[in-house]
Amino acid sequence: MANVVLEDVKKSFGTVDIIKGVDLDIASREFVVMVGPSGCGKSTLLRMIAGLEDTSSGTIRIGGEDVTEAEPAERGIAMVFQSYALYPHMTVAENMAFGLRVTGVPKAEIDRRLADAAQILQLGSYLDRRPAQLSGGQRQRVAIGRAIVRDPKVFLFDEPLSNLDAELRVHMRLELARLHQRLGATMIYVTHDQVEAMTLADKIVVLRAGQVMQVGRPLDVFDDPENLFVAGFIGSPKMNVLPAVVAAGDGRTVLIEGDEDMAVALPHLRGTLQPGREVRVGLRPQHLRLAGGGLLKIRPDVIEQLGDVGYLHGRTPGGAALVAQLTERLAAVPKKELRLAFDPGRAFLFDSNEQRLR
Amino acid sequence: MAGNRHRQRRAWATAGRHGLLILFAVISLYPILVTWFTALRPAMQSQQDPFGLPWPPIWENVANAWVKGRFGDYLMNSVIIAIPTVIGVVVLSALAGYGIARFRFPGRALAFGAILLGLTIPFQSVMIPLYYQLLQMGLLGSYWAVILPGIAFGLPFGVFLMAAFFEDLPKELHEAARVDGCSELRIFWSVMLPLAKPAVSTLIVFQFMRTWNEFLMPLLYLQDEAKRPIPLGLMFFQGTYTRDIGLIAAGVTLATVPVIIVYLIFQRQFVRGLTAGAVK
């Protein structure tokens, strides 16, 4: 297994910059998930690591070796594509063995690796079938098997679960986590699904418009986002963002805008803020609870009951959208205004440039 | 009641559709069947009852056409011309179509446009300059005088068909093969070409039919009687045996059989090739 290092990697299509200088250090055996909205460049970055896209500038190293200009097959990587990209005219065994045959691996060795991969992925009884005769989950396993038999230094996954239905996706997610534990391989995984990112990753890389917004362990990114984008992207339902101004006084109290301003003291702030400064308060839906004497008012309009939890959607008197994750079971939308309480220590503060204020 | 009426309407609609299809099938097959039946009956019988069935079939006309009409020679000449032409068109079209569909290079659109322009050029407009060209090259009168222009005229459609087909194949297959360590040629040969079977089959059938039925080109460039292909042979044969309908029908039957055999061999892939890309 090998580490992967990206140094100021850039990619442009004509005059349009897609990847705007990415630095990344991925340790050997680490499971790194690159996550971000559509068009953020995460797949392009993965394809650059794979060698399927040219790098406009910067350096890519795998296992200490500069592979920026190397062909995909010379990088020691294996890739699992979103669409599986299995060769339709070959059987499962032929699909998995193809890369080994091309590179001249002896037949006995091919057979051994094929048997190992088939056993790991429970594909033994499908080896003579063609991809068209397999279900989506089985095809995905074959695609992973094709990667495993190559015994690569680094596994690359490009949204591998996107084409599967919800139930199978959960199942395959667990399989992938087990596979990583078993192989102990370096894996780089691209997804737009933050649940996959949170559950699979040792390290999450949040991307936006070709730039890295934050790198960190999943819970660190969730608990301590660097900016409003990361705070909003990681976590479901999305973080509530309420406009506020810094109150006169100690510089650690903000007034959330509403029909009557709600003063929130934020003693955990390290510094003090200029009174009158416009800021935004971020509150995770999971940190809100129904309380008669709560500070936040909400005019509810929709309730989504998921069984164990429910989502109460509504607006503040100031007009900002608000959602709270509740453990109480509300059968119908209450006709009246409700009050929500939260621990001020769990409120996040952002400046007008969307950067975190600590 | 309503359900019954609905079922009845559906049955009528089905019957109407089938009736229409049978009518078209009869219109298409009738001339072919009459020719075959005539070939298998004595000429006298065909004159008295032109639409009768050939029972018991008489093979004399076919044997006479083969021997007297020298159809064996014509058939061999047609095969000598058709096989290299079809191979040439298929190989070059597949390679050129793949290149145009898969690679972005300067002048790509221009090259593709120039190839497609060939679809609009009728043979008649170049047949005389081509005659002198072949004469100059010393090819006039040889099989190459028909094979090489046949390949050139087959390429525009061939490249168009193959490029459209390769364009439709998912690019991830190409990328997966690159990750697997394939060279471009290996990707073409081991991954893309096997997947292009329907398009290749379609091209084989079209090109074979076109070459097999080509009349004007061999008439102009193959003046040696010993090198005449089927359509020319058929014309001279008709001139010699104008009165013997059975013999002429046997000649026509012999001329059509190879095309039908080629079609039957590639039929399934041919239909897939025609409908490729119609649905995702």
Show the domain range for B8: 2-48
- What is the mean pLDDT of the segment spanning B221-230? 88
**Mean pLDDT throughout A2-20?**
93
- Nearest chain B residue to A147 by CA: give it: B180
> Mean per-residue pLDDT for B30-45?
84
Suggest the residue from B168, B169, B178, B180 to mutate for an interface test with chain A (most A CBs closer than 10 A). Answer: B180
Least confident span in A4-8, A180-184, A234-238, B51-55: B51-55
In a domain, B136, yes or no: yes
Whether A171 and A214 share a structural domain: yes
- Residue A201 or residue B256, greater confidence: A201
Question: A292-337: per-residue pLDDT in tens?
Answer: 888 888 999 998 988 888 999 999 888 889 999 998 887 777 778 8
Residue A194 vs residues A26, A38, A335: alpha-carbon distances, Å = 19, 13, 34
Choice among A56-70, A249-263, B132-146 with the minimum mean pLDDT: A249-263
Paired residues of A207 in beta bridges: A212
A188/A256 same-domain check: no
Q: Does residue B53 lie within any of the structural domains?
A: no
Residues 6+ away with beta carbon under 8 Å from B114: none
pLDDT, tens digit, for every residue of B77-123? 999 999 999 999 999 999 999 999 998 899 999 999 999 999 999 99
Supply the pLDDT for residue B2: 66
Same domain, B207 and B152: yes
Q: What is the pLDDT of residue A336?
A: 85
Residue B63 lies in a domain: no
Percent pLDDT > 70 in chain B is 94
Is residue B274 predicted with pLDDT exceeding 70? no
Q: Is residue B197 located within the same domain as residue B133?
A: yes
Q: Out of B179, B186, B191, name the one closest to residue A79 (CB).
A: B179
Same domain, A213 and A272: no
Q: What is the mean pLDDT of residues B149-169?
A: 94
Same-domain check for residues B139 and B225: yes
Q: Do A85 and B181 touch (CB under 8 A)?
A: no
Q: How many domains does chain B have?
A: 2
Asked if B49 has any chain A CB less than 8 Å from its own CB, the reply is no
Q: Which of residues A233, A267, A295 is at a domain's end?
A: A233
Does residue B52 have a pLDDT over 80? Answer: no
Chain B nearest-CA distance from A81, in A, is 7
Domain end position, chosen among B12, B32, B48:
B48
Residue with tokens 């080509």: B214
A92 with A224, same domain: the answer is: yes
Q: How many residue pairs from chains A and B have C-beta atoms closer than 8 A?
A: 56
pLDDT at A166: 84
How do residues A196-254 score in pLDDT, each as one tens digit? 999 999 999 999 999 999 999 999 999 999 999 999 999 989 999 999 999 888 888 89
User: Which residue has better confidence, B263 or A34?
Assistant: A34
Residue A243's region, left for phi above 0, alpha for psi from -120 to 50, else beta, is: beta
Residue span of the structural domain in which A178 resides: 4-233
Burial status of residue B2 (CB atoms within 10 A of its CB: 0-12, 13-18, 19 or more):
exposed
Residues of chain A neighbouring B179 (CB-CB closer than 8 A)? 50, 52, 72-73, 77-79, 99
**CATH code, domain carrying B221:** 1.10.3720.10
Task: Report the residue of A13, A48, A67, A81 to disrupt the B interface, i.e. the one with the largest count of B CBs within 10 Å.
Answer: A81
User: Where does a domain end: A196, A214, A233?
Assistant: A233
Same domain? For B17 and B139 the reply is no
Residues of B in contact with A88 (CB under 8 A): 195
CB pair distance less than 8 Å for A85 and B191: no
A194 in the same domain as A265: no
Residue A180 and residue A70 share a domain: yes
Q: Exposed, middle or buried by CB within 10 Å (0-12, 13-18, 19+), for A350? A: buried
Evaluate if residue A141 carries a pLDDT over 70. Answer: yes
Question: Per the structure, how many domains does chain A have?
Answer: 2
What CA–CA distances, in Å, run from A168 to A139, A273, B217, B249?
12, 49, 62, 64
Q: Answer yes or no: do A49 and A75 share one domain.
A: yes
Of B177, B179, B194, the CB nearest to A50: B179
SS (H, E, C) B179-247: HCCCCHHHHHHHHHHHHCHHHHHHHHHHHHHHHHCCCHHHHHHCCCHHHCCHHHHHHHHHHHCCCCHHH
User: Residue B64's pLDDT band (boundaries 50, 70, 90)?
Assistant: confident
Q: Contact A79/B176, CB-based, under 8 Å? A: yes
Do A212 and A353 sit in the same domain of this protein? no
| Number of residues that this document lists for chain A | 358
B64 domain residue, yes or no:
no
Residue B156 lies in a domain: yes
A173 plus A259 within the same structural domain? no
Q: How far is A72 from chain B (nearest CA, A)?
A: 5
Residue A103 sits at the chain B interface (C-beta within 8 Å) = yes
Q: Does B176 fall in a domain?
A: yes
Cβ–Cβ gap A71/B178 under 8 Å: yes
Quick one: A259 and A348 in the same domain? yes
Last residue of a domain, one of A214, A233, A252: A233
